[in-house]
Amino acid sequence: MELAQPPAIIPPLASLKKHLESITMQPNPRKLVAGVDLGGTAVNYTFFDGSNFLIEGLCEHPSLARQGPEVCLGQMADGLKLAADRHNVSLSEVAVVGLGTPGPASANGILSTRGSTNFVHAAWSGFDIRGALAQKLGVPVVYINDGNAGALWGHYVLFGRENQATSISAIIGTGLGGGVIVDNQVLKGPHGFAGELGHVLIPWQRIPGLENSRPVCNCGRLGDLESVCSLTALEKSLLPAFLPKYPGHELTKQSDLRKAARLVRSLAEKGDPLARELFAAQAHALGLFFDQMINTFDPDALIVGGGAIETGPEFQQWFISEIRSGLPPQWQEQGGIPIHIMPNGDTAGARGAALEALRSLPSR
């Protein structure tokens, strides 16, 4: 005689949900994501539990990207372990790693055949940096362009995790990176080129002082945003255009314009007229560029970040007012779009990469 099967105990849906939550709420094991921001000069790490970043400030090492993939991948893995040890994190708690690097790269982290900006080593050409790091760590890795990562961080700080907002971020560094976030989605594009804002052409001849110059970007374009608004632009376009107006200025004694370019920010903060004029030109370039973005995307916010404006608040506010004065007249209805300074500038890339990792988790 066959015994009847006891009826399956099916808990009500609400108690099942509570049970699942109690499992995931247990402090151990935690479910974390990591962010790794690999730049040409530094690698930066962070850990995120979905609410808090476990590393408050910078956690970085000099980047060995120039020594090629093998050395660099080893460095990233060692650095992540070191950062984990230092902040009482076990790598077994890390569900996904978000990796940000300079582009150009495919949306899935295959670096361009021309290699990545600042990663001068032949073996980077066409290299699958996302796949290689995942293999090295034994943890899933998601890829994000570093400009997009910064943009994602700025957007998150302004609008929180759940939102339908649109923002445009421009990040002024050696070049000009950034990102476009529409309805809380980072635009990457099928080829990974969405958000390559530095190579958008602008009417540079309208910028006072540049009417007769021909700014050329490293990408070969004449008059794109990066050719006027970047550290490279200071050296190649702006100092040559403006220095002759200031005979006897201390920067005229500097024969190496690259070194001179690096001195401009601190001079500008002190109010030096030449340095302020150089930054005003960059701000006006941003104004012209943002006008295009406003008329294309109708964003909720514009965000400016990068080393150029890692300065005191007085200079940052002056820079924003210069951007506004470079904006062509707006429709009255468009006038109120705020311009923000990127929060936590140095850690924005790693934090944005961690946010991208979090977004890849189906349950979060």
Give the residues lining the site for Zn ion (CB under 5 A).
Answer: 199, 217, 219, 221, 224, 226
What is the biggest distance separating any 2 CA atoms in the chain, rounded to whole angstroms?
A: 108
What's the closest the beta carbon of residue 241 comes to Zn ion, in angstroms? 18
CB of 227 to Zn ion, least distance (A): 6
- Complex with Zn ion: residue 55 or 233, whichever CB lies closer: 233
Q: 11 is written with which tokens?
A: 């808990």
- Of 165 and 219, the one with the shorter C-beta distance to Zn ion is 219
Tell the smallest beta-carbon distance from residue 176 to Zn ion (Å): 8
DSSP 103-131: S-B-TTSBB-TT--TT---GGGTT-BHHH
Shortest reach from residue 301's CB to Zn ion, in Å: 25
Segment (H or E) for 351: helix 348-360
- Tell me whether residue 217 or residue 278 sits nearer to Zn ion (CB atom): 217
Backbone angle region of 271, left / alpha / beta, with phi > 0 → left and psi within -120 to 50 → alpha: left
Strand order in the sheet with 32-38: 60-62, 42-48, 32-38, 94-101, 141-145
Indicate the residue among 218 and 316 with the shorter CB distance to Zn ion: 218
Specify the residue, 150 or 177, whose C-beta has the smaller distance to Zn ion: 177
- DSSP label at residue 248: T
The residue number with the shortest CB distance to Zn ion is: 217
- For residue 3, what is the DSSP state? P
To Zn ion, the closest distance from the beta carbon of 189 in angstroms equals 16
